[in-house]
Amino acid sequence: MGPVTEHNDSHADAGAPAAPDSSYLCGAWGGSGPRLAVVNPADGSTAAEVATVTPTEVAETLDAAASALQSWRDTDPWARSRHLRDAAAYIRDHLVDIAASVTAEQGKPLAQAEGEVAGAADQFDWCADEARRIYGRVIPARGAGRRLLVQREPVGVVGAFAPSNFPALLPARKIAAATAAGCTIIVKPAEETPTAALWLAAAAEAAGIPAGVVNVLVGDPAMISEMILGDSRVRKVTLTGSVPLGSHIMEEASKQLKSVSLELGGHSPVIVLDDADPEWAGEAAARGKFRNAGQVCIAPSRFLVPAELHDRFVASFVAATEALAMGPGDDPSCDIGPLQNERRLQAMEQLVASAVSDGAVVESGGRRIERDAGWWFEPTVLTNVDLGTEIMVAEPFGPIAPIRAYDDLDDAVRIANDTDFGLAGFVLGGSLQRCLDVADRLEVGMVGINDFAIALAEAPFGGIKHSGFGREGGAEGVAEFTVVKYINVAPA
């Protein structure tokens, strides 16, 4: 079923389109595999059923993406720009419906889902501009009449893998940048949250992007991934996911020397300086931590606070945490929704139990909530957390905030950097110069100073160390989907 058919309910009678419920391949809606039941994490109900693809259909999609490549890469950049702008407009026109799909399949509060979808539209808007700004350069030549030219060209067919925590924004980053650069793309969204990515396919279709350029395949992850990674025509692979999955993707891609971009896990430190306002810092840090129930790769996840400010910071943090209203995302009064799945719920219980056994104090929360057959865990604040305990080492990816006092700023920076992760870090303080000095010392790809909302379409997003390499967003994000060609011209 395509995305423009109507349900027989009052919402459809008002003219709202139905959510896409099929894969999008070769410029058409289809999928002859078993229908996939998408679970609402708030109550365990079925949020959607989506048609999946067979191996034959994956093979057809690979053929279509390869066939469409030459014509799309030859398309005038201004024409590509118009297509992307139209896709952004479609997303904004359908923002309410797309956000409802995000909330139903992922669980985040509707206001956060609407912000995510607006961010997805921003990706297409930004990349619409960047499509016309993929610059080369002319190098001064050594001899008269010579020219040394450098130009950027599309890397080719792209295989893209997206996770469940931001099911609209993360595929949008990949689709918008790849198509702006002149590439064709095959996206495999997370099986828990496929509908949001299918809305992006609907936007591409409505914008007139030719068949085969944008494809979104729902189905067996192992089968789809193996076929994409094994096809020599796929020259670029981009993944947002876990470190183990990133290692596997990189290993498979290396067999054919495919280009790879990886945005993997994070364990973002927050260093509070001694000139920060502890009440403001505690409240702001709590809001940043518990967005999307902590299921954010750049979520602040280790809080290092001067000993003299510790108690006031903790009191403010706990008060802000306990003021959060938990509930299903479609309830506008709610601030925090469920976890994505049972695995995350079990992981949270284990992290809290491990921390407590190592001496941590539970200041707030700390327990599973039995509610509506969903996956609910209280937003949790821990203090007196030992540096060696699991919550300080492993990415929590959930609503647990460990807070630790420090006496020496150099020691806080050392603790912040003492991890295999290097995605993001945050500094809270009154002196801009001191904040910048600490930011320079953090071993991460991104730093927020007095701000936790650092993911922007116009800025490069990515990390170092085990958090991956490559960037999404900004001019750098489009450049990831290009290769450099050098041309040396001599007079005849």
Enumerate the active-site residues.
Answer: 263, 297
Q: Which of 64, 31, 74 is nearest to 49 (CA)?
A: 31
Q: Where are the alpha helices (DSSP H) in 107-220?
A: 110-130, 169-180, 195-206
Helix (H) or strand (E) holding 230: helix 221-230
CB 147 within 8 A of CB 332: no
List C-alpha distances in Å: 263 to 274, 286, 341, 378, 449. 32, 24, 21, 28, 21
Q: What's the rounded Cα separation, in Å, for the pair 235 and 483? A: 11
Per-residue burial over 273-305, b = 16 or more CB atoms within 10 Å of its CB, e = otherwise: bbebbbbebbbbbbbbbbbbbbbbbbbbbbbbb
Q: What's the rounded Cα separation, in Å, for the pair 83 and 399? A: 39
Q: Which of 81, 65, 91 is nearest to 160 (CA)?
A: 65
Could you tell me how far CA 339 lies from the centroid of its own chain?
A: 16
Per-residue burial over 222-242, b = 16 or more CB atoms within 10 Å of its CB, e = otherwise: ebbbebbbebebbbbbbbbbe
Q: What's the rounded Cα separation, in Å, for the pair 415 and 304? A: 9
Could you tell me how far CA 429 lies from the centroid of its own chain?
A: 28
The position carrying tokens 């501009």 is 129
- As a whole number of Å, the end-to-end CA separation of the chain is 59
The position carrying tokens 């020599």 is 232
3-state helix, strand, coil in the chain (%, to 5): 40, 20, 40
Q: What's the rounded Cα separation, in Å, for the pair 233 and 154? A: 13
DSSP for 15-74, please give it: TPPPPP-BEEETTEEE--SPEEEEEPTTTS-EEEEEEPPPHHHHHHHHHHHHHHHHHHHT
**Dihedral of alpha carbons 473, 474, 476, 479, sign:** positive
Q: What's the rounded Cα separation, in Å, for the pair 232 and 315? A: 56
Q: Which of 318, 335, 325 is nearest to 401 (CA)?
A: 318
